[in-house]
Amino acid sequence: MFLGCCCLPFAGAAQTQHGAEQPAEGIEDNSFFVEEAFNQEERVVQHIFNVLYFRRPLETVVATFTQEWPLFGVDHQLSYTLAYAHLSAPVEDGMGDLFLNYRYQLFTDSSWAAVAPRLSVILPTGNVEKGLGMGVVAFQVNCALSRWLSDEFITHWDAGMTIFPGVRGADAEGRPTRNTLPWYNFAASVIWLAAPTWNLMLETAANFTAIPGGVGDVTRLTEVIVSPGARVAINLEGLQIVPGIAAPVSFINGEARLGAFLYLSFEHPY
């Protein structure tokens, strides 16, 4: 199993911004599997911790840490994402690939919708032999769109692609090969602002991935995630803490598995 399959749905997620035309005060934070199109406020940094757990078909625990910073104001944002995984059968532990992310706030929510395209460079820090990385420098593009439906409901939409150039493999005779592997991701969510400090969430995500097979071919996987969840905001002086929890159901090539997802973020000025 390649760690990137778990990391991509929520790597480089969006940040908090309060637009002038926002119809109601609420949490505009990282979603869990869907990227929100709000860049970080000026001189405000956010630290995000995620843990994703699945018991089968093999036990998998993936923990990520993301830190995001505004760059010269709201329009530009830089971030990075670190990942660590525990995989069973066989037991493997280690760091995954490193994401370096840049986002541009193309439109804010004072327009018809907030739109934020992102470019990520993926550095091959994960061990290929352990299934924790692809072993090449890769590139990901994603575009997030967020639109208020009413004072109580907001929806988020994502579409993106990842390119892994020159991934090493072997043909049926054992001779080395290299393949350029494209991945695609799509996601959507609806969030209910049940109160200013807590939300109920329903997210869906689809990931279309490809990894080298054992005899020179390419194994293609389709994963669809449906995830109900909730998050709350704890507002202290100069600090916002947002814990969250979700129960994702993942369908990989038609096989269902139930997981657990934990989220925690800290946001403060600097």
Q: pLDDT for 177-220, tens place per residue?
A: 888 999 999 999 999 999 989 999 999 999 999 988 766 678 88
Helix (H) or strand (E) holding 68: strand 60-71
* pLDDT reading at 69 higher than 70: yes
Q: Is this prediction's pTM over 0.85? A: yes
How far is the C-alpha of 156 from the C-alpha of 257, rounded, in Å? 24
* pLDDT reading at 52 higher than 50: yes
How far is the C-alpha of 169 from the C-alpha of 187, rounded, in Å? 30
**Domain boundaries along the sequence of the chain:** 4-162+186-203+229-269
> Torsion angle, CA of 223/205/59/168, rounded to 10 degrees?
60
How far is the C-alpha of 131 from the C-alpha of 148, rounded, in Å? 40
Please tell me the predicted confidence (pLDDT) of residue 169.
79
How far is the C-alpha of 31 from the C-alpha of 233, rounded, in Å? 13
Q: Cβ(188)–Cβ(154) under 8 Å?
A: no
Please tell me the predicted confidence (pLDDT) of residue 14.
41
Higher pLDDT, 56 or 81: 81
Q: How far is CA 202 from the centre of its chain?
A: 15
- The model's confidence at residue 11, banded by pLDDT at 50, 70 and 90, is very low
* pLDDT reading at 18 higher than 70: no
DSSP assignment string, 85-141: EEETTTTEEEE-PEEEEEEE--B-TTSSSEEEEEEEEEE--S-TTTTS--SS-EEEE
* pLDDT reading at 35 higher than 60: yes
Q: Which two tokens stand for residue 239?
A: 């600090």
| Identity of the amino acid at 25 | E
For residue 90, whether the previous peptide bond is cis, meaning omega lies within 30 degrees of 0, is yes
Q: Cβ(15)–Cβ(77) under 8 Å?
A: yes
CATH fold for the domain made of 4-162+186-203+229-269 = Porin (2.40.160)
